Amino acid sequence: MTRPDGVPAQGPVVSPRVHGVIALVEENCTSCMLCARECPDWCLYIESHTETVPATTPGGRDRSTHVLDRFAIDFSLCMYCGICIEVCPFDALHWSPESDYSEGSLLDLTHERTRLSGWRATPAADGPSDVREPPDPVSGS
């Protein structure tokens, strides 16, 4: 394995659920603001607006839906606690093991939603974010 800029392999293989960076599954996000409110570092920024979806059946009702305008995490501030991932009701956030994204400018460490979505490629993006081993069966003691 070689980095894009030619620096050779990184060392040991890490678990796909290592707390490296937080990936966004944009289509799962409902702009509910729960993650931004729970973040102890105040480092998660969401902006959204409301759109009206016309009724699909005659006589039906129009629905209103929230559309995401901005989703950004400031990784210069983030403490990688994972509360945003735990609190998301729709699994729109999950861990990715990538850890190599240092920057020459602090502002570049704020990852906007395109970049956050890009981290989806690295872990097993097909599974839910919190796959856990089943608990050991209780021994009959």
Partner 1 sequence: MSALVRAVREVFADDVDDLLDVATDFGSTTIHVDSGRWTDSLEALAAAGATYFDFLTAYDELENGFCVIAHLSTPDASDHVLLRTLLARDLPAIATATSVYRGAAWHERETHEMFGIDFIGNDHLEPLLLPDGFSGTPLRKDFVLASRVVKDWPGAKEPGESQEPTTSRRRNLPPGVPQGWLREESTPPNAGSRHDKA
Partner 2 sequence: MTRESLDLPSPTFGLPVRPAPSPTRVEWRSQDRTFVLSVVNFGLACCSVEFLAAVQGRAEAMAAGTIDARARHAGVVTDDGPRTSIEVLVISGTCTDALAPAVKVLYDQMPEPKRVVSFGACSNTGGPYWDSYSVTKGIDQMIPVDVYVPGCPPRPEALLGALGELMRDHDDQRGSVTP
Binding site for partner 2 (CB under 8 A): 2-3, 5-12, 14, 18, 20-21, 40-42, 74-81, 99-106, 109
- Choices 13-21, 47-55, 88-96, 131-139; region in contact with partner 1 by CB under 8 A: 47-55
Out of partner 1, partner 2, none, what residue 61 binds, judged by CB under 5 to 8 A for its kind, is none
Out of partner 1, partner 2, none, what residue 28 binds, judged by CB under 5 to 8 A for its kind, is none
* Residue among 20, 21, 24, 31 that touches partner 1 (CB under 8 A): 31
- Indicate the DSSP class of residue 109: G
Q: Torsion over CA of 82, 126, 111 and 3, rounded to 10 degrees?
A: 110
Residue type, 24: L
Q: How many CA atoms lie within 13 A of 10 on its CB side?
A: 12
Task: Tell the smallest beta-carbon distance from residue 39 to partner 2 (Å).
Answer: 11
For residue 18 the two structure tokens come to 């290592």
CB 95 within 8 A of CB 82: yes
**Which has the closest alpha carbon to 129: 13, 6, 25?**
25
Out of partner 1, partner 2, none, what residue 79 binds, judged by CB under 5 to 8 A for its kind, is partner 2
- Interface with partner 1 in residues 64-103 (CB under 8 A): 64, 66, 69-70, 72, 74, 76-77
